[in-house]
Amino acid sequence: MAKFSLLGDEEDDEGPSCPALKRPRFDYAATPFSSDEDNEPPRRQEEQEEDDDVQIDGENDDFIITSPRLRGEWITEDGAGEENSELNVDSISADANQEDPRPLSTNSDRSISVFLTDPDVLDCCICFEALTVPVFQCENGHIACSSCCTKLGNKCPSCSWPIGYNRCRAIEKVLESVKIACQNKQYGCKEMVSYSEIKDHETTCTHAPCSCPLTSCNFISSAKQLYQHFRSQHADSAVLFQYNCDFTVTLNEGDKFLVLQERDGGGLFILNNETETLGNLVSVSCIGPYSFGKSYYNLLAKCDGNTLRLESFATCTQGQADYSLSSVYLLIPPGFFGSSGQLKLDLFIERHDQSPGCSERSVEAA
């Protein structure tokens, strides 16, 4: 290591190689200085040779010493200007720091975008489900999710070594830091969810795609957008109703379904109708993601003083293939339709967020 002094305060045995104090070099990349080298007085040949000697010594130790001008004043051999030079250096350093501030960056405010060419790399190689914390590895580095380790009796299926005792912290850190967009982004979802939680999120995402119930229409979007679409494009094909109010619909014996639309943007419902040997099977379902919950409904059929009633909860469906009869339905005998083939049904649909109170209503009605 080479040691250099710029102000001549070294000890006698560690002094500079040249007795004359040379001008120090400072790296002022952010603070340029004007050069007056054209006006400098010519130096003596001895000083030039001494400068060359010092520079050669510096090159041997990977250091180069040169002499920039400090605010138009030179440091002389007799020490004149040393005090001013020190002050100038400090002030110049302060000015440089003020003119070129560099904000500190930390790891906490940094993020990068990563593209996985093989997303399956973050899935369990045994059950092919997304890996979730904790993740275990065997002695040979094969990884598996916690549930698979238990099912396999803590025996690695790849090498038969024990697995389920050593955590794979590296993969767990990756899983905790990776954020991916919901697959329903094109339908309005803006959530960024960790990879291990994306499956649970998409199961309850309110922007899940729903298909238009009319077979002649291929419109697919979120339940909210589907409601607006049906109101603007198929207004004549819907029966309007209002939550928590009784209304009547006319069902033809051959109708496969009727579309029920809430007046105040509450949603779309399907009155399903399937014809069987014993009669017609009628039920109600809601068009929307499964996270919408179940809405209570009361279905009433009357004919010649006879009454059939069904109190149940409307299940949620998303696609045209799902617009089918639910497991709970009302069986209406053929005689209820009469010679006209039509039947008037009385309906009452309650909001799904009010469904806990409907059980009391059901008990009172019974």
With CA atoms as reference, report the closest residue to 6 among 97, 52, 60, 67: 67
| Claim to verify: residue 235 and residue 331 sit in the same structural domain | yes
| Claim to verify: residue 52 and residue 78 sit in the same structural domain | yes
| Claim to verify: residue 70 and residue 190 sit in the same structural domain | no
Domain span at 353: 211-365
| Claim to verify: residue 34 and residue 124 sit in the same structural domain | no
**pLDDT score for 29:** 47
Q: How far is residue 52 from each of residues 25, 44, 55, 56, measured CA to CA in Å? A: 15, 13, 5, 6
Is the residue at 7 inside a domain?
A: no
Tokens representing residue 233 in the block: 């494009």
- Report the pLDDT averaged over residues 331-341: 88
β-bridge pairing 246-252 and 238-241: unpaired
Most confident of the following: 98-102, 112-116, 121-125, 160-164: 160-164
**What is the separation of C-alpha 325 from the centre of its chain, rounded to a whole number of angstroms?**
36
**pLDDT score for 73:** 44
| Claim to verify: residue 237 and residue 300 sit in the same structural domain | yes
Is the residue at 103 inside a domain?
A: no
**Looking at per-residue confidence, does 67 or 276 come out higher?**
276
* Number of domains into which the chain is organized: 4
Whether a cis peptide bond, with omega within 30° of 0, leads into 119 is no
- Report the pLDDT averaged over residues 60-72: 44
CATH number, residue 276: 2.60.210.10
Q: How far is residue 10 from each of residues 15, 17, 26, 76, 340, measured CA to CA in Å? A: 5, 11, 20, 17, 117
Overall pTM > 0.85: no
With CA atoms as reference, report the closest residue to 290 among 214, 351, 205: 205
Q: How confident is the model at residue 144 (pLDDT cuts 50, 70, 90)?
A: very high
Q: 77-86, 105-114, 229-238, 255-264: which range is least confident on average?
A: 77-86
Is the residue at 55 inside a domain?
A: yes
Q: How confident is the model at residue 70 (pLDDT cuts 50, 70, 90)?
A: very low
**pLDDT score for 102:** 55
* Residue pLDDT, tens place only, 348-362: 999 876 433 343 443
**Looking at per-residue confidence, does 120 or 30 come out higher?**
120
Is the pLDDT assigned to residue 64 strictly greater than 60?
no
With CA atoms as reference, report the closest residue to 261 among 307, 214, 301, 198: 214
- Report the pLDDT averaged over residues 298-309: 92
Q: 40-54, 78-92, 229-243: which range is least confident on average?
A: 78-92
User: Can you give the length of the chain in residues?
Assistant: 366
DSSP letter at 21? P
By the 8 A CB rule, do 282 and 251 touch? Answer: yes
- The residue type of 149 is C
| Claim to verify: residue 155 and residue 60 sit in the same structural domain | no
- Report the pLDDT averaged over residues 22-46: 50
**pLDDT score for 116:** 76
Exposed/middle/buried for 257, CB within 10 Å: 0-12, 13-18, 19+?
buried
| Claim to verify: residue 71 and residue 143 sit in the same structural domain | no
Is the residue at 111 inside a domain?
A: no
CB atoms near residue 119 (< 10 Å): 11
* Residue pLDDT, tens place only, 148-192: 999 999 999 999 999 999 999 999 998 888 888 898 999 999 998
CA distance 357 to 132: 38
**pLDDT score for 153:** 93
Is the residue at 348 inside a domain?
A: yes
With CA atoms as reference, report the closest residue to 137 among 121, 151, 124, 119: 124
CA distance 334 to 61: 106
CATH number, residue 124: 3.30.40.10
**pLDDT score for 293:** 78
By the 8 A CB rule, do 332 and 253 touch? Answer: no
| Claim to verify: residue 235 and residue 185 sit in the same structural domain | no
Is the residue at 1 inside a domain?
A: no
Is the residue at 223 inside a domain?
A: yes
- The residue type of 330 is L
**pLDDT score for 360:** 40
- The residue type of 128 is F
| Claim to verify: residue 37 and residue 70 sit in the same structural domain | yes
Q: 3-12, 202-211, 348-357: which range is least confident on average?
A: 3-12
- Report the pLDDT averaged over residues 64-84: 45
Q: How confident is the model at residue 83 (pLDDT cuts 50, 70, 90)?
A: very low
**pLDDT score for 366:** 37
Is the residue at 199 inside a domain?
A: yes
Give percent of the chain above pLDDT 70. 64
CB atoms near residue 333 (< 10 Å): 13
**pLDDT score for 111:** 74
- The residue type of 252 is N
| Claim to verify: residue 215 and residue 75 sit in the same structural domain | no
**Looking at per-residue confidence, does 178 or 8 come out higher?**
178
